[in-house]
Structure 1
């Protein structure tokens, strides 16, 4: 392990577009399901539904958070609907499996999705046995990243010292609260970021793909 990361005992990973490449475009299927859900809920066309969806994402952190705040949507019904997708675009990632196995310390998934969906994705990627636990939107009491409570709750649930923890995310804005409590931050800049921000001072490592970076930090003497 490189000296700069010798302090890390807890390796925390986002799920979508982080543990698999954004080029797989899995989230596009979820995105379309969210748009359809909103169109039916609010009796609007798909163009207006998509506009509302993105406005809620930007304004509330997730589309679900916006729907709950503005329309009292049942989160379980929403998540079941939007996650009802095929996952044949995902393939097992042997290099990532191997790299994660070599990391010293605890490994966790921290996702704004729900646990059943996360487990299906992990199994598809060959990562079913790679993580200690999945901390999902329900474990966050439905307060998603980047809400500070989500990070505090994660640390409390697993007795994590933020100063010994590293968090990997494709959404740069979700790294800011992690950095604020002392975590080392890694941004997977793969084109999935939907809220561009000129301020990147809270990012410690700027990468483009996860497995090659893990291999690099593990092989560097």
Structure 2
């Protein structure tokens, strides 16, 4: 592996808007379902539900965490509802599948979603069976990224050494805790909505707007 990545033994990937491009507009479907859930829960109109959803998302890391903290909802029921979306917008990404298959070492998914939804997405884009494990929101004890506890829990659960790990994310703020414990960080800057206050990028080691191409480039350099 090229010098700056020769230490990587663990390749850790976020799921949504990272292993598929944000332009396919899958996550906007989930956004709509989240607002519908909040409207049913609180009686708010669409505009107020949108405000609540964004406040919880930016303030708690996920809308789910905010709803659990403020309304005591059942996370399983909520996740089943918001993940009831059309995955036909996703496409098999042959280049990404090939590149990830060629990566040396362990491969894991680290998501604020849940494992059943992740499995459906991975199957759809051709990555089913590729990853050793999916570390999901249930596994974090509902303390989502960017809570440092979530990252430490991942490392403990799978005996992952942070200094030998690379983490890929579309939300830049979720890379800060990874960098703090010694991981190499890759930001997929592909148009995902970023928190308005998150302008610091000092914790980002690599930036790409095309993950598959970036992986192919680092693999070609080491062939």
Aligned-residue Cα RMSD (Å) equals 0.7
Task: Give CA deviations for 1:142-189 in whole Å, capped at 9, x if unaligned.
Answer: 110000100000000000000000000000000000000000000000
Match of residue 53 from structure 2: 53
- 4+ runs deviating over 6 angstroms: none
TM-score (norm 2): 0.98
Classify the secondary structure of the residue corresponding to 2:168.
strand
Alignment length (residue pairs): 221
How do 1:100-119 residues align onto structure 2 when only pairs under 5 Å count? 100-119=100-119
Classify the secondary structure of the residue corresponding to 2:187.
strand
Per-residue deviation at 1:45?
Answer: 0.4
Match of residue 123 from structure 1: 123
Task: Give CA deviations for 1:50-83 in whole Å, capped at 9, x if unaligned.
Answer: 0100000011010000000001011011000000
Where do 5+ consecutive residues of structure 1 fail to align? none
Match of residue 174 from structure 1: 174
Q: Write the distance in 2 (CA, Å) between the matches of 1:129 and 1:157.
A: 19
Classify the secondary structure of the residue corresponding to 1:88.
helix
Per-residue deviation at 1:198?
Answer: 1.9
Q: Write the distance in 2 (CA, Å) between the matches of 1:192 and 1:138.
A: 24
Contact 2:172 2:194 (C-alpha < 8 Å) held by counterparts: no
Task: Give CA deviations for 1:1-49 in whole Å, capped at 9, x if unaligned.
Answer: 3211000000000000000000001000000000000011000101100
Q: Write the distance in 2 (CA, Å) between the matches of 1:186 and 1:163.
A: 14
Per-residue deviation at 1:86?
Answer: 1.1
Match of residue 218 from structure 2: 217
